[in-house]
């Protein structure tokens, strides 16, 4: 055995192995240090200290308690009716929010689908076209919805239109990026089969790529819908319509009981939709694994 360990191939491997392990350790050390530095900087900039967190916690509790409605067992239906005096209006606003989210998801899916093919490295020969499409998707996706919403509220005025536009633009970028990453992982043999029989680029995308990525695209789109519903509720805070705008109003005017009433409605609706969508997504994924 000792002799075998002295053979050149073994020695060479051992040397290469030691070098590789050293490299990994240095890498770990460097990145660990960088991470620690970044954490410290972030805490410093945001003036985070555990003492401040500790002080603020009871205040947070106070605030929450104040938003609770007065409910008595004896007069429960009346109390609830009083608590939810704005139910009809809130329901309509919540519906607005859902509509904003759904439409933005639909437009985002359509736009993302159109954009994702030229944004996939394996599907276009023209590097400039690919580069422009991919970067466009990444840039539109990187800007948060709230920033778009602020811009559009200034441009189009307060209301759902601004919210819809903001979510749509962000969704197009985000979906294009996700879809194109799915495109880049497909089996390219079928594409060759189509190309070899004289199909043009659009036909190759439609029949070679789309069928392969459709399950992925469907789950990504459902997932985007879940995200958009949450975002649609939030961007109301800057005046982009829906239930968020009402919630912001309640918070800034200290209508404590309204806050809890609206938040409960929102949480309940979002959970319901999340659960359904998640079931649906898992079913799609599950079916794919079977076939």
Partner 1 sequence: MLQIRNLEKRFGTLKALQDVTLEIHSGEMVGIIGRSGAGKSTLLRCINRLGNPSAGTISWHDDPVSQLKGRALRQWQRRCGMIFQQFNLVPRLDVMTNVLMGRLSYRNTLLSLLRWFPREDRARAILTLERVEMAQFALQRADSLSGGQQQRVAIARALVQQPQLLLADEPIASLDPHNARRVMDILRRINREDGITVLCNLHTLDTARHYCDRVIGMRDGCVVFDGAPSQLDSGTVRQIYGVEHDADFNEGVTSTWLENDAAPVACTAT
Name which position in 86, 144, 159, 190 contacts partner 1 (CB under 8 A): 190
Show the tokens assigned to 129: 């076209």
Name which position in 192, 254, 282, 287 contacts partner 1 (CB under 8 A): 192
Least Cβ distance, residue 205 to partner 1 (angstroms): 9
For residue 226, the tally of other CB atoms under 10 A from its CB is: 19
- The Cα–Cα gap between 223 and 105 comes to 10
Least Cβ distance, residue 198 to partner 1 (angstroms): 3
Q: Rule CB under 8 A: say whether 30 interacts with partner 1.
A: no
Site string for partner 1, 207-246 (x = CB under 8 A): xx--xx-x--------------------------------
- The Cα–Cα gap between 291 and 284 comes to 11
SS (H, E, C) 203-240: HHHHHHHHHHHHHHHHHHHHHHHHHHHHHHHHHHHHCC
Least Cβ distance, residue 117 to partner 1 (angstroms): 12
Nearer to partner 1 (CB atom), residue 51 or residue 196: 196
Stretch that binds partner 1, among 77-85, 118-126, 162-170, 194-202 (CB under 8 A): 194-202
Q: Rule CB under 8 A: say whether 276 interacts with partner 1.
A: no
Nearer to partner 1 (CB atom), residue 128 or residue 197: 197
CA dihedral 276, 279, 283, 289 (to 10 degrees): 150
Name which position in 194, 251, 273, 280 contacts partner 1 (CB under 8 A): 194
| List of residues 6+ apart from 180 with CB closer than 8 A | 115, 116, 117, 119, 120, 134, 137
DSSP structural state of residue 69: -
User: Of the candidates 150, 134, 146, 204, which has an alpha carbon nearest to the alpha carbon of residue 170?
Assistant: 146
Nearer to partner 1 (CB atom), residue 142 or residue 185: 185
Least Cβ distance, residue 40 to partner 1 (angstroms): 48
- The Cα–Cα gap between 98 and 87 comes to 16
Name which position in 1, 45, 65, 196 contacts partner 1 (CB under 8 A): 196
Q: Which of residues 131-150 bind partner 1 (CB under 8 A)?
A: none
Q: Which helix (H) or strand (E) holds 263?
A: helix 256-290
Question: Given the rule CB under 8 A, which residues bind partner 1?
Answer: 187, 189-190, 192-200, 202-203, 206-208, 211-212, 214, 291
């Amino acid at each position: 055995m000792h002799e075998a360990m002295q053979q050149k191939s073994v020695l060479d491997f051992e040397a290469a192995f030691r070098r590789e392990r050293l490299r990994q350790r240095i890498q770990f050390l460097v990145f660990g240090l960088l991470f620690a530095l970044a954490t410290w900087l972030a805490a410093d900039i945001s003036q985070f200290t555990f003492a401040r967190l500790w002080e603020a916690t009871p205040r947070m509790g106070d605030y929450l308690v104040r938003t609770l409605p007065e409910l008595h067992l004896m007069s429960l239906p009346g109390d609830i009716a009083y608590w939810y005096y704005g139910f009809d209006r809130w329901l309509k606003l919540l519906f607005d929010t859902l509509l904003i989210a759904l439409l933005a998801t639909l437009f985002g899916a359509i736009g993302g689908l159109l954009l994702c093919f030229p944004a996939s490295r394996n599907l276009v020969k023209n590097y400039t076209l690919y580069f422009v499409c991919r970067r466009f998707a990444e840039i539109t996706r990187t800007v948060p919805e709230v920033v778009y919403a602020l811009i559009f509220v200034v441009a189009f005025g307060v209301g759902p239109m601004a919210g819809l536009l903001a979510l749509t633009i962000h969704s197009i970028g985000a979906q294009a990026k996700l879809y194109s990453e799915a495109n880049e992982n497909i089996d390219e043999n079928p594409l060759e089969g189509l190309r070899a029989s004289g199909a043009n680029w659009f036909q190759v995308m439609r029949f070679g790529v789309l069928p392969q990525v459709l399950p992925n695209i469907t789950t990504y789109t459902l997932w985007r819908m879940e995200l958009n519903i949450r975002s649609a509720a939030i961007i109301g805070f800057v005046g982009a319509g829906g239930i968020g705008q009402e919630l912001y109003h309640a918070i800034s005017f200290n209508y404590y009981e309204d806050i809890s009433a609206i938040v409960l409605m929102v949480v309940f609706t979002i959970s319901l939709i999340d659960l359904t969508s998640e079931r649906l997504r898992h079913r799609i994924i599950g079916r794919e694994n079977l076939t």
